[in-house]
Chains A and B, each alone.
Chain A
């Protein structure tokens, strides 16, 4: 599935977005705001200087060709450059704010039923709820705060948060279904919750402040780029400031207006103006993707990820394994195995258990006991088996082959070598083998078939081309894991994995200088999520997992991790491409302004664009410089089209498109503008 196909949220009201952005562009002219963007602050100071020269053209001494109209035009263009840059940022911020508004609409001050010590109910405002309070919510209620289910079972409509209309079952004690989010709605039954956040600290509050940009801080790459832009700006200020003595020496004095124009043309205004918009748009793209990032740093880290750790079930294979076949051993018939398998699964409500029941019934198996008098034995990670205890003392079990072997031995049974042969056969098919037994007698193997998600192999191929290593984690045995890993095309796998293995593999990769991303939902995943460079928690997961992760996927789809890497890379590529374009633009602007400045010194031959006059050349370069910012706003907001190729190939392509393009486009653009300026008689 492609990124664009999966973008589903964006139900934001963008009406009046551009009008608000335009207003905001003027408000951002405040020097206290402008000073945060070094490149545009220098343009701002330049605009003030040229504006003073409109009032008094001879303020810094009389220079030939220094006139009020020219100064006014330069000032107007510089002012427009500032507005365009502010507008780009305001549009990006506006989209985030619109998204925050749509989220805020789901957040309302409701009345909550707070349970007191003696279990009596006190009605309080949702804003009065504190962490640790117990509340009761019933059908039709909007859940007043984030919480953990401590009693009851209910269906919850989470569409306000996730956009997913199907209701979600919430119940206590489960890692994946016991946390609820404030703002969602109970559509059946009732729940007792323990509040897990104080007012203003809820999941929705955090989301709102993130998409609004209130908590936006510069990412490491943005900081590095800011330093580069500041260094370039400083160098060009020094260069331009030392020009007047040289110009006077060669007998071609230049006006301060032309010097300011040269400075603005040379400093990287394009990327300076679009830098924050690119970052905000990156966060916005992640939010549209129904993922909440705790910081821009996390989104950016996605682009730098070099190792992906993925759970097999739900990410690489479809979540539900289905019973495909019963393999009898010990001379038992197929019907006998089906009967024992049915008996062991009659209380199993998992999709796997239900599929075993279906297959057994299809084969004509029936149970010869009354389920009302029997007792179900639930699966546990310790025993790794489940089953049924019959009233006559007979124990029927199904589970991991090793565990069933141990169980059979403990009941005085024998292990037949046929079992290992059947186990290997299923494992080699990439399936999960479950052994079934009754008392001390083995009956056979259930073949649970894993279905690899369609298209996942191609996704892993893409990731490999991008230089990203994929590691699959599974609780399955080594043979099954290797078959699935081979079929899916992952680079490495860890079989019979425990939560500790996750941390160990993350630490091992990080020690090798890799950036690691992983998904998780359970409390036992929390340490690994915190350890990973990018930890994506499922919204259906526990509070501990969500707090440890730096991203939360509202749709609880672990496959999304692959798409997040794509978004992160797209953000980095967009920033790199526009920086390349911005810097390579300088060449054409240099060739437009320098011959114009020193025409009297006999370097007219450098006027390779054949620009009409000195003033026309300066104006054309500045107009191009200003217009390129709004022209690139859509690209900055949408992001450069991402292709899964190696970093070297990407660099080569981008240098060709944005580097060479950045050299050629201004030559054409400045020439066209020069013709228009000449025709209009502005210079």
Chain B
């Protein structure tokens, strides 16, 4: 409660006042938020790919390869979910 008050005093508004609205929003837009977070995560990974690439590649190619890697990882996670909970699919 104290932290919330300190935050509210510092920011000039209660940050947690809209907690329920944020929850509703994230529930309604879960897929869009997941894609947004995936693209955000891809930014640092793309930098690593760009830095590690032995051949000459463009930043766009590094970004694409990193995204492809994340898509493959997501597919693997999805397939593990199917294996563990097949009745849901």
Contact = CB atoms under 8 A, between A and B. Distances in A.
A60 B76 contact: no
Interface string A59-97: 111000000000000000000000000000000000000
Interface residues of B, number: 19
Interface string B74-89: 0110111011001101
A60 B61 CA distance: 5
A237 B79 CA distance: 10
Interface string A215-253: 001100001101100110110011001000000000000
B65 A49 contact: no
B86 A227 contact: yes
- The residue among B57, B72, B76, B82 with the most chain A CB atoms within 10 A of its own CB is B82
A590 interface: no
Contacts of A61: 55, 57, 61, 65
A231 B83 contact: yes
B47 to A, nearest CB: 17
B68 A218 contact: no
A234 B80 CA distance: 8
Nearest to B57: A61
A460 B71 CA distance: 55
B57 A234 contact: no
Contacts, number: 57
Nearest to A235: B79
A238 B72 CA distance: 9
Contacts of B87: 217-218, 223
B64 interface: yes
A60 B79 contact: no
A437 to B, nearest CB: 63
A551 B86 CA distance: 26
B57 A237 contact: no
B86 A49 contact: no
A64 to B, nearest CB: 13
Task: Place the interface of chain A in its size category.
Answer: 20 to 34
A226 B79 CA distance: 10
Given A38-B78, A38-B82, A241 B72 contact: yes
A42 B89 contact: no
A233 B83 CA distance: 11
A218 B86 contact: yes
A668 interface: no
A226 B86 contact: yes
A35 interface: yes
Nearest to A222: B86
A234 B79 contact: yes
A241 B71 CA distance: 11
A41 interface: yes
A196 to B, nearest CB: 32
A515 to B, nearest CB: 21
B89 A234 contact: no
Nearest to B82: A230
Given A61-B61, A234-B83, A256 B89 contact: no
A36 interface: yes
A37 B71 CA distance: 17
Q: What 3 pairs across the A-B complex have the smallest Cβ distances?
A: A230-B82, A234-B79, A223-B86
